[in-house]
Structure 1
Amino acid sequence: MVVDYADKALTQRYQLMAQTIIPRPIAWICTQDAKGTLNIAPFSYFMGLSSEPPTMIVSIGHKSDGSQKDTLKNLRETKKCTVCMVDEAHLEQMHFSSKELDARQSEAEIFGIETKSIIKDFPPIVTGVPSAFFCELYQEIDLKGSKTIPLVVEIKSQYIDDTIITDKEKLTLDYEPLARVGKSYALLGKRVNPPKIP
């Protein structure tokens, strides 16, 4: 079977892509508006882009009423975000934080998400996450005819929980990140060693 995307509705294309381009890591993004209101929202159209410059890309859609999502608005305004990686302990709060709220409301307060400030002038991290990236907006990509806005963010610093570091010299980390698989979530705990190339 070959599916011609030109014949499919947007929702159908999304479902096909979301079920086959997997697993996708979840970026739990913390941003603040000019008044300091903290927004915490998960995004699964997210991936590392380059190590020089150290960048990641995340695609941000719009709210159900067509207005900008708070994450997009805040990033355009302040140019800064903190991207937290999610583990199983935070699954419920992360999932709840995907609910649309008024821009004046914070997911941290509504869903009891604890945060802590690590680096001055960047939004806080979610307390207890295994790792987080402190990023600045690098580039906004214009996808002609799309309401989805891909943003490239540049990593300035990274927080790593000491308990997941297995080798400080080699900077080897071991934890079970949470990923999106279609409409479900999955833990990426099972690892398979690569075969030796002859």
Structure 2
Amino acid sequence: MRSIELDPLGEHSDRAYSLLTALVTPRPIAWVTTIDTEGRVNAAPFSFFNVFGSKPAMLAFAPGNKEPGVPKDTARNIRTNGEFVVNLVDRSVAEAMVKTSAPLPFGESEIDGSGLTLAEGSTVKVPHIIEAPAALECKEHSTVEIGGNRLVIGIIQRIHVREEMMLSEELRIDLDQYHPIGRMASPDWYCGTEDCFEIKRG
């Protein structure tokens, strides 16, 4: 089999984003809520995201810049108060999530007029989205800047899960009730996770 070799750091750097977001799929979606110094809520989705450990429970996501050197509101708010919530996304909130990706002036909330409901956090001042199937309250551990990338690492303080998704006695997630969507190729492609299969280890 033959392959085509590409240089994402040099000759093909202008194609790196579209190539990587089409190849590394599906990606989970971090629908991040933050607050600014006036207490106004910002909500924005990011698909450069995943969990990276459980001792302590840890996640990371990468909010890019609005333009070179200008951080997005999410990154600016986290830099100010060190707190955020990752709301997870299923089909029931998919359209609302996409709407919150529209660029707005700093301080203008994507929640206003969205039909979404906010609930107070238990360990952070940042609210989470009630309609989301689950939410992870986080405190910033650190933010790493590499070139034009910004990686926010958070320690998960609390997990909120939609009641019908929990198998209470086992404290496990009922996968028949939880179907998050995944991010596929940019700009407008997503996928469902209903078609799962099991391969048992020997």
Using the size of structure 1 for normalisation, the TM-score is 0.92
Fraction of identical pairs, as percent: 25
Distance in 2 (CA, whole Å) between partners of 1:111 and 1:164 is: 24
Using the size of structure 2 for normalisation, the TM-score is 0.90
Q: What's the CA shift for 1:120?
A: 5.3
Worse overlay, 181-190 or 73-82: 181-190
1:14-52: per-residue Cα shift (whole Å, max 9, x none)?
Answer: 111001111100000000011101000000000111111
Query: What stretches of structure 1 move > 6 A for 4+ residues in a row?
Result: none
CA contact (8 A) 2:46 2:63 kept: yes
**Cross-structure match for 1:164:** 165
**Cross-structure match for 2:154:** 153
CA contact (8 A) 2:60 2:153 kept: yes
Q: What's the CA shift for 1:173?
A: 3.1
Structure 2 SS opposite 1:39: strand
The residue type paired with residue 192 of structure 1 is F
Distance in 2 (CA, whole Å) between partners of 1:173 and 1:48 is: 19
Aligned residues between the structures: 194
CA contact (8 A) 1:43 1:58 kept: yes
**Cross-structure match for 2:195:** 190
Gaps of 5+ in 2: none
User: Is the aligned partner of 1:43 residue 2:46?
Assistant: yes
**Cross-structure match for 2:137:** 134
Spell out the pairing of 1:84-123 with structure 2 (5 A cutoff).
84-119=87-122, 121-123=124-126
Spell out the pairing of 1:28-39 with structure 2 (5 A cutoff).
28-39=31-42
The residue type paired with residue 15 of structure 1 is S
The residue type paired with residue 68 of structure 1 is P
**Cross-structure match for 1:68:** 71
Gaps of 5+ in 1: none
RMSD of aligned alpha carbons: 1.6
The residue type paired with residue 40 of structure 2 is T
**Cross-structure match for 2:13:** 9
The residue type paired with residue 35 of structure 1 is E
CA contact (8 A) 2:117 2:130 kept: yes
2:62 aligned to 47, 59, 62, which one? 59
